[in-house]
Homo-oligomer: A and B are copies of this chain.
Amino acid sequence: MSVNIMVSLRKLALLGAIAQPIKLSSGHFAEAIKSSVQTAARRLQELEREGLVHRRIIADGQWIMLTNKGIEQLKKECYEYQEIFFSRTDIEVEIAGRLITGLGEGKYYTALEGYKRQFEAKLGFIPFPGTLNLSLEAQSRAARKKLDARKGIEIEGFESEKRTFGGGKCFLCKIVEKEAGGIKSAVIIPDRTHYPDDVLEIISPVYLRHELQLKDGDEVRTKVVI
């Protein structure tokens, strides 16, 4: 990935192309990146070719918006800065939520060899098949947001014969109270999540729901190591 491409991508994000498409011409973009129109146009083409932006050309310019891949790339750089400037400011964030029943895919994914192997190597345990899903209130969603800014423990995606499985990241955590101090667990955040960001997925070597005698609607508090 060329560094100029990354700078262009960042500029587009700053211009607001991360949340919604923005309209701009090569000419305007040239001013923004302080280059010639040709170079600006080439950068936008390149960005599209690399799959980092969606692009739609119209009569008097183009509509540009970052793709998920583009956002991911940008986040990687962002993590580096977090690392440089805020590496060890906070150690833990506390997130609370109410237990809900998931869609069952947690069970499917956590059982896959491609993930299990990584969980064991990187987290130190083989997860019980399934995830504990917590529904988060506004306050905890804000705390959850801090995890976005963190690199976490990286879980790589992989491919099987039939399909590809996306990557994600984990954070070690512990459930507070409930005498669960001794149980290792981890928050898992897929890159392309099927849940909105108001659900927190937790994995653990044991069946937490039974181990802690939890039922839907119970409040669960967890301290996440970031």
Contact = CB atoms under 8 A, between A and B. Distances in A.
A80 B14 contact: yes
B75 A78 contact: no
A165 interface: no
Contact of A14 (B78, B83, B89, B145): B83
Chain A's interface: helix, strand, loop or mixed, by majority?
helix
B84 A14 contact: yes
- State the number of copies, please: 2
Contacts of A83: 14
Given A3-B3, A3-B4, A75-B85, A80 B145 contact: no
A57 interface: no
Contact of A10 (B80, B89, B145): B80
B89 A145 contact: yes
A86 interface: yes
Interface of A: 3-4, 7, 10, 13-14, 18, 74-75, 77-78, 80-81, 83-86, 89-90, 142, 145, 148-149
B89 A18 contact: no
Contact of A77 (B13, B81, B148): B81
Q: Which of A7, A78, A81 has the most CB of B within 10 A?
A: A81
A42 to B, nearest CB: 15
A86 B147 CA distance: 11
A89 B145 CA distance: 8
Contact of A142 (B14, B80, B81, B89): B89
